[in-house]
Amino acid sequence: MGYRFRIKNIIFMITRLVKYNLKIIFANKFIYFLSAAIIFFLLVTILNLASSDSDPTAGLVYFWLLVPGILLIFYPTVFGIQNDVDTRMIEILFGIPNYRYKVWLVRMLLIYVVVFVILLILSFLSSLALIQIEIFEMVLQLMFPIFFLGCLAFMTSTLTKNGNGTAVVMVVIGMFFWIGTGFLPHKFNLFLNPFSAPSDVSEIVWADMAFNNRIYIFVLTLIWVLVGLIMMQKREKFV
């Protein structure tokens, strides 16, 4: 009986934690970014359906879905810490040893789960309306740059302690990687499109290059998370 009670208590606490953090994630201006992501997707889809010369490919769909994904991840990762500071929630988090790490890891997990589900829906609609694609593979590939940028934004926000400052830094970094698509080595190209292989590269070689690119992105993403959590130890800079 005691074992079942503990399980129910754990489930209840996890449910409350998830609901509370979802309210924080979707608070304030997130609805505007969600609306912008949906409007962009609908606009691109409608324009392609209306154009007789339109010839969408999986590579194009990848970029069309990448923009909504970045918009969805932008607000909760860039302004998350500032929202905690503004509501004085940061003081509570620092008041409980190691609790803030669990809270932020749960939040990031929830953010990426929500973004993953939304992109699954948009990918499914793209597959129906534009071109048949491997939906799960498409979303999985999209999550690498999105996960990278989200964790980098979290780390940056622990350094700036200001949402607007973090937003400016992330826009500059995003522009650098976007422009760098033409000159950065493939393994460091954040916006490498695995569904658009160059004509002078074989599919096997391109698949190997894309795999190495994802490994580098994943490793750097873990570094951003670890650095961000380490920076969260400096209580005096936040409270």
Contact 58, 108 (CB under 8 A): no
> Using CA atoms, how far apart are residues 74 and 32, in angstroms rounded to an integer?
11
Place of tokens 């670890």: 226
Q: Containing domain of residue 104, as a range?
A: 2-237
Query: For 43-56, what is each residue's pLDDT tens digit?
Result: 988 888 877 677 78
pTM of the model: 0.85
Contact 41, 64 (CB under 8 A): yes
> Using CA atoms, how far apart are residues 128 and 116, in angstroms rounded to an integer?
18
Take residue 58 and report the two structure tokens written for it: 């999986």
Low-confidence ranges of the chain (pLDDT < 50): 236
210-226 per-residue burial string, b: 16 or more CB within 10 A, e: under 16 = beebbebbeeebeebbe
Query: For 176-191, what is each residue's pLDDT tens digit?
Result: 999 988 788 888 899 9
Place of tokens 């690498």: 144
The number of distinct structural domains making up the chain is 1
